[in-house]
Structure 1
């Protein structure tokens, strides 16, 4: 993506793409491997990443600078655990694919969650996004039981410096991929927040789930 693109737009567009990719890839196939489950993105998925950016303000530019400073000061996360549902996983770093879509953990590493490094780091201002599979062609995956998490549950994220950050779940929702609450998920936040994303819901005719499950958290 061109370096002249404003930071906030890059993060916004990339996170929206991550959502679209998660719908198509993160544990959404119940059948044989397909182009989608191996990392390709369909034209329909790509359409989710199309968005327009409103005119920027001085306040938004200042927030960008603050976000970048916070990102630089905060070590990358290395592990996530959710004691109430028995989740404990190292975190792989997820970037962008060659076509501009956000990477997701490969199907053969379904029990490993990933952190999208183009967004905020846990502990820095803004939403940190962790993506994990629900199921893959190899079986149940790391976020299979995410639907059972309750408000008030703790999510522990360890960073590369050995510090453990404690987030508290503030809510969750299952949403259709056709009506994803983009601003609610990736919009700027004053404090450090967390979003856990996986697939959810019924399967369509192609064997892909039609919904996303989103869990929201805030740093204690």
Structure 2
């Protein structure tokens, strides 16, 4: 893996969205006892994201903007998803020395992370929010993420006093060894959101969940906090 790539933040601002974060392959690094939700075993603490791969998400045909007009930059402070009882604060995530995105702390199961050099939720582009499905301490914030359905609402409260309301478009599961970078991070003309966690079977030998669950959503409306 490589170190942080110069200009990553600028690339994110110029419409590549979360593409500058890379393939976003969340993985685990400890073999632990299974939980009720994941019979194959809970996520290990240090979930991280693969380094930026220049040109990995090349723009395709120009998409059509949908939903509400994009907002200005503003740091997210809280995530609410009523349908799965999520009400969690944000923490800012940074890249580590090898260019990977550090995960939210594993000792706090009700916390989501946002890459602070990336697009903020509500801005044009793809904003990425990452959360654990479970940790060694038990079920975590995104335990039920895969149970969302199209039309469900995701609310992100922002530091500027606005709430960006996203509508879920789809929920998909991808094998980590075949993660569709362009589909998840491709250029968008509007404000979109990607919620990502681990999923599928937990491979004890690899100490890794084999899949990622990705929720695709677009900005539907805004309101005051």
- Is TM more than 0.5 here? yes
Q: CA deviation at 1:52?
A: 4.9
Shift of 1:208: 2.1
Aligned residue pair count: 194
Please state whether the residue corresponding to 2:22 is helix, strand or coil: helix
Maintained 8 Å contact 2:194/2:215: yes
TM-score, normalization by structure 1: 0.77
Matched, 1:7 2:11: yes
Per the alignment, residue 188 of structure 2 pairs with: 189
Q: How far is 1:31 from its partner?
A: 4.0
1:53 maps onto 2:72 in alignment: no
Partner-residue secondary structure (3-state), 2:19: helix
Q: Which runs of structure 2 are paired with 1:53-72 in the superposition (5 Å)?
A: 53=55
Could you state the TM-score of these two structures normalised by the residue count of structure 2? Answer: 0.75
Corresponding residue SS for 1:202: strand
- Residues 165-211 of structure 1, C-alpha deviation per residue, up to 9 Å, x if partnerless? 10000001111001111111111110000000000111113342111
CA distance in 2, matches of 1:174, 1:79: 25
Aligned partners of 1:181 and 1:10: how far apart in 2?
15
Higher relative helix content: 1
Q: Does 1:138 align with 2:142?
A: no
Structure-1 residue corresponding to 2:153: 154
Q: Residues 122-167 of structure 1: CA distance to partner in whole angstroms, max 9, x if unpaired?
A: 1111000000000100000000011111110000000001211100
2:99 paired with 1:100: yes
